[in-house]
């Protein structure tokens, strides 16, 4: 039977799962970043998500908005640097659109992702095609608009598939932002590490909703 | 590299504890990692600086009397996160607004911008001026893209002086923009520093080469040139600064009779001996062009661990900026009697 929406405790468990999945993926993310950047993305994300788990386990939550907001704040304060600001902005901008309500459905997911996508693009200045996290986030946000009226499990599955396909397409792009920019044509052939993180985050959310 | 540290992951926190001790009560640590002047008068427009640690004695060493009111400090070579920016902003705010003045690096800009948003949610007015003095990091026509390097010492000194008497945040913003516009730097690096936690070099460069225009973390510059003498390198670096003043239509070119501040900075391991040898050549270069040096600073103030390299920074003075320069100041990084 399709799942229409997630309640507060399910949403909390979903975010904890995505945090654990990112922590587990540290070697993959580190490798991805070593090909293009300075190799610190995996460790930064691991540090950020460890702080997220600590925060989510030590506080009580009564609405979904506060869960995502706490996630964004924990990432920002623990990671530092550009990736802390960008991933923190993703969760904080997304959270701002959610009313303080106790359910998370496909319509909230779409509001969340559209605002998160706009927020991250405004903060970092990257556009789709620049070989950044946006190349997984932007297709995910677009897909969420189409999936607005679906049950949450189906919507999350569609969003995760869009993010994964965006991550794969980032392999063929030439980096236009950040440290990888100096590599020019040499950046082709590897996916962007930030896009890899986005794909892992949505895959974990979809797997949670579908199990 | 032999380094006298303890837990490599606690380097930033431990150096900040030491910094507070060195200030002998003039500054305190507030919250996680902010250095704040002990006495900030009510109604003062506040000046907040900051950035990654590991470049001592900047940035947090520029807090003090008649200079910056506070610094938001990040981990080693990493921007301070927004909650530290917020705690520093709240600690320096005296009701007249806070000016953020820091080097233009993507991580710093994002984190300070979020800190500014959080501060404004708490009712504190914030404005930002970015330090963009590194002429080799972008052409004059896109100078707002440039990185901030050693010129920040001259800039923070003058803006800090101005902040003692300005009536409004807007006025301090205007002065900061003017000071940044008139300050230009060129750096070179000969070998990298290392990251304290890993011991790994921050970049690589051939033993026989010098990175002309290279950034303080090893960001690419204009070119790599063969290792050479102080007297050969100094004019090449100053030429780039002179050319930049001439190329930029927003400023006048440097000409006979102009008065400047001159700062010869070591990136860490380059010795005072070498800086003085370069300074001597620089003075000869400036004399030939009829440029008057109003004041000189020399030494390792903007560093990157044991990196070798130097930079020259020049501020072209007018009567207004000279007034800000003349005010005595006291801080760990720079003291003027």
> What DSSP assignment string belongs to B34-97?
EEEES---TTPPEEEEEEEESSTTTTGGGBEETSBSEEEEEEETSPPPHHHHHHHHHHH--SS-
The reply to whether B55 belongs to the active site is yes
CB A65 within 8 A of CB A98: yes
A59-112 per-position pLDDT tens digit: 999 999 999 999 999 999 998 888 899 999 999 999 999 987 789 999 999 999
Q: What are the tokens at A115?
A: 């605002």
Whether residues B82 and A85 touch (CB distance < 8 A) is answered with yes
pTM: 0.90
Nearest CA distance, B109 vs chain A (angstrom): 9
Nearest CA distance, A178 vs chain B (angstrom): 8
Closest CB from A77, A81, A182 relative to B83: A77
pLDDT value, residue A46: 94
Query: So what's the ipTM on this one?
Result: 0.81
- DSSP alpha helices (H): ranges in chain B? 11-22, 82-92, 106-121, 152-163, 169-181, 230-247, 272-288, 319-326
pLDDT value, residue A101: 78
Q: What are phi and psi of B280, to 5 degrees?
A: -60, -40
Q: What is the CATH number of domain A5-209?
A: 1.25.40.340
Instruction: Tell me the C-alpha distance between B76 and B202, whole Å.
Output: 12
Residue labelled with tokens 């969420």:
A144
A170 pLDDT above the threshold of 80? yes
Instruction: Tell me the C-alpha distance between B69 and A23, whole Å.
Output: 39
Nearest CA distance, B295 vs chain A (angstrom): 36
Nearest CA distance, B288 vs chain A (angstrom): 39
Q: Does B107 touch chain A (CB under 8 A)?
A: yes
Q: Does B137 touch chain A (CB under 8 A)?
A: no
pLDDT value, residue B67: 98
A38 pLDDT above the threshold of 80? no
The reply to whether B60 belongs to the active site is no
pLDDT value, residue A31: 84
What is the percentage of chain A residues whose pLDDT exceeds 70? Answer: 98
Q: What are the tokens at B31?
A: 């919250």
pLDDT value, residue B43: 97
Of these residues, B33, B217, B281, B316, which one is catalytic?
B217
Whether residues B80 and A80 touch (CB distance < 8 A) is answered with yes
Helix, strand, coil percent values for chain A (each to nearest 5): 75, 5, 25
Domains present along chain B, CATH in parentheses: 8-181 (3.40.50.10440)
Which residues in chain A are closer than 8 Å to B110, comparing Cβ atoms?
A: 82, 85-86, 89, 123-124
Instruction: Tell me the C-alpha distance between A124 and A87, whole Å.
Output: 10
Q: What are phi and psi of B47, to 5 degrees?
A: -115, 120
Residues of chain A whose beta carbon is less than 8 angstroms from a beta carbon of chain B are 73, 76-82, 84-86, 88-89, 123-124, 178, 182
CB B224 within 8 A of CB B209: yes
Whether residues B81 and A76 touch (CB distance < 8 A) is answered with yes
pLDDT value, residue B199: 82
Helix (H) or strand (E) holding A207: helix A193-209
Domain edges within chain A: 5-209
For residue A184, give the nearest of A195, A175, A193 by alpha carbon. Answer: A175
Helix (H, G, I), strand (E, B) or coil at B329: strand
Which residues in chain A are closer than 8 Å to B75, comparing Cβ atoms?
A: 80
| Residue B310 C-beta-side C-alpha neighbours within 13 Å | 27
Whether residues A80 and B75 touch (CB distance < 8 A) is answered with yes
Whether residues A77 and B74 touch (CB distance < 8 A) is answered with no
Mutation target vs B (from A38, A51, A55, A82; most B CBs, 10 A cutoff): A82
Instruction: Tell me the C-alpha distance between A91 and A64, whole Å.
Output: 12
C-alpha torsion sign, points B319, B324, B327, B331: negative
Instruction: Tell me the C-alpha distance between B53 and A210, whole Å.
Output: 45
Q: What are the tokens at B248?
A: 């930029």
Whether residues A80 and B78 touch (CB distance < 8 A) is answered with yes
Q: What is the pLDDT along chain B (337 residues), one digit of tens a residue?
A: 789 999 988 999 999 999 999 999 999 999 989 999 999 999 999 999 999 999 999 999 999 999 999 999 998 888 999 999 999 999 999 999 999 999 999 899 999 999 999 999 999 999 999 999 999 999 999 999 999 999 999 999 999 999 999 999 999 999 999 999 999 999 999 999 988 877 888 888 899 999 999 888 878 788 899 999 999 999 999 999 999 999 999 999 999 999 999 999 999 999 999 999 999 999 999 999 999 999 999 999 999 999 999 999 999 999 999 999 999 999 999 999 9
Whether residues A76 and B82 touch (CB distance < 8 A) is answered with yes
CB A50 within 8 A of CB A42: no
Which residues in chain A are closer than 8 Å to B111, comparing Cβ atoms?
A: 76, 80-81, 84-85
pLDDT value, residue A181: 72
């Amino acid at each position: 039977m399709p799942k229409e929406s997630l309640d507060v405790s399910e949403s909390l468990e979903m975010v904890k799962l995505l945090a654990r999945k990112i922590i587990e993926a540290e070697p993959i993310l580190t490798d991805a970043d070593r090909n293009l950047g300075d190799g610190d993305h995996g460790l930064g994300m691991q540090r950020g998500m460890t702080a997220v788990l600590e925060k989510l386990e030590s506080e009580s939550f009564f609405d979904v908005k506060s869960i995502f907001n706490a996630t964004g704040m924990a990432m920002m304060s623990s990671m530092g640097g550009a990736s802390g600001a960008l991933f923190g902005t993703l969760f904080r901008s997304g959270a701002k659109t959610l009313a303080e309500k106790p359910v998370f459905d496909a319509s909230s997911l779409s509001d969340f992702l559209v605002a998160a996508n706009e927020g991250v693009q405004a903060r970092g200045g990257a556009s789709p095609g620049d070989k950044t996290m946006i190349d997984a986030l932007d297709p995910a946000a677009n897909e969420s608009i189409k999936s607005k009226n679906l049950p949450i499990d189906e919507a999350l599955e569609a969003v995760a598939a869009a993010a994964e396909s965006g991550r794969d397409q980032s392999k063929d792009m030439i980096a236009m932002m950040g440290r990888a920019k100096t590599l020019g044509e040499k950046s082709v052939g590897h996916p962007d590490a930030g896009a890899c993180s986005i794909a892992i985050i949505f895959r974990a959310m979809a797997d949670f909703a579908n199990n | 590299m032999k380094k006298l540290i303890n837990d490599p992951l606690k380097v930033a926190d431990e150096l900040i504890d030491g910094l507070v001790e060195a200030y002998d009560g003039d500054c305190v640590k507030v919250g996680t990692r902010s250095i704040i002047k002990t006495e900030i008068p009510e109604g003062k427009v506040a000046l907040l600086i900051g950035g990654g640690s590991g470049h001592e004695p900047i940035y947090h060493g520029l807090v003090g009397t008649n200079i910056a009111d506070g610094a938001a400090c990040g981990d080693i070579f990493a921007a301070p996160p927004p909650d530290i920016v917020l705690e520093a902003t709240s600690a320096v705010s005296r009701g007249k607004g806070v000016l953020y003045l820091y080097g233009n690096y993507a991580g710093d800009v994002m984190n300070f911008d979020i800190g500014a948003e959080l501060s404004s949610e708490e009712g504190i007015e914030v404005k930002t001026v970015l330090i963009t003095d590194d002429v080799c990091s972008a052409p004059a026509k896109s100078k707002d893209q440039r990185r901030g390097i050693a010129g920040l010492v001259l800039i923070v000194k003058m803006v800090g002086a101005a902040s003692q008497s300005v009536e409004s945040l807007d006025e301090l913003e205007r002065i900061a923009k003017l000071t940044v516009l008139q300050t230009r730097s060129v750096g070179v690096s000969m070998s990298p520093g290392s990251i304290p936690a890993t011991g790994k070099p921050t970049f690589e460069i051939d033993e026989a080469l010098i990175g002309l225009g290279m950034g303080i973390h090893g960001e690419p510059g204009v070119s790599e040139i063969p290792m050479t003498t102080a007297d050969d390198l100094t004019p090449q670096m100053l030429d780039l600064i002179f050319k930049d003043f001439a190329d930029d239509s927003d400023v006048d070119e440097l000409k006979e009779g102009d008065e400047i501040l001159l700062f010869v900075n070591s990136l860490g391991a380059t010795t005072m001996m070498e800086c003085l040898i370069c300074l001597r050549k620089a003075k000869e270069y400036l004399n030939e062009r009829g440029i008057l040096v109003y004041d000189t600073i020399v030494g390792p103030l903007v560093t990157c661990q044991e990196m070798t390299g130097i930079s020259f920074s020049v501020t072209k003075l007018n009567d207004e900026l000279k007034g800000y320069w003349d005010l005595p100041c006291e801080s760990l990084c720079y003291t003027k009697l």
